[in-house]
Chains A and B, each alone.
Chain A
């Protein structure tokens, strides 16, 4: 088993997310892909490469890993010990993503929107939020506008650095908060 896969299993265990075997369950595969990408994009060292086109963010190597050892997703058995920085990241994802009220009804679409928004933010750092919105809408037409707006907003919260909080940023956050309401 790869160290990368051990980290994913440890993360799921830390969050207490028990999924069905991914070789038998589409929803498990879907969630593992999106959560693994969020972990990587927030700084947990993972060697998986993710692509956006069609199913993204999606990693073929991660797919191979969970098809090779699918039972581990069910049992969450691992000897991997997460470090303090990893745990901080997992706590943030837990607070802002997994416990977001929208997950009561739209967990999968929210994970899809948030991971896509983050991917686009990294690939095109100069894009404005409404341009990110338009790009997500173009590649994932089926996602509701409101889910995309909330996802973009959540990405900002997840990756927010307090040093950058000036008046201009504060004003923009207010605008997006109102849009979310």
Chain B
């Protein structure tokens, strides 16, 4: 392994510290990704159908992301029914970007190994 590769590996695993590890679960990442795609906002019932998780599971994960400031909960009245919908914040977008960039680094690292 040469100096550059050594530095690169160090960089990859130091960058993990920049990520909020509590966000790194399938459900939370899915919620951030879905809300980044559907910028209109997603209703609780739409998220539940998409992720196929229980109400409790979804609610606790959404609450965590709200607490971290990654998504916001909004109220809407549709056909006289009060519903909640969720949208991603700039902090949420940044956190997702950090995670994607970190995974990209791992991908790059493994690509180098496979080429050797």
Contact = CB atoms under 8 A, between A and B. Distances in A.
Contact of B79 (A106, A140, A141): A106
Given A26-B40, A55-B38, A109 B79 contact: yes
Contact of A142 (B40, B42, B45, B76): B45
A139 B49 CA distance: 7
Interface in B59-81: 74, 76-80
A26 B74 contact: yes
B3 interface: no
B113 to A, nearest CB: 36
A54 B76 contact: no
Contacts of A27: 76-78
Interface residues of B, number: 18
| Chain A interface mostly | helix
A105 B79 contact: yes
B12 interface: no
How many chain A residues sit at the interface, stated as a range, is: 20 to 34
A58 interface: yes
Interface of B: 34, 37-42, 45-46, 49-50, 74, 76-80, 85
11 contacts: A26-B40, A26-B76, A54-B34, A55-B42, A55-B46, A58-B38, A63-B40, A67-B39, A109-B78, A139-B49, A141-B49
Given A27-B76, A55-B38, A55-B40, 5 more contacts: A26-B40, A63-B39, A106-B79, A107-B79, A108-B78
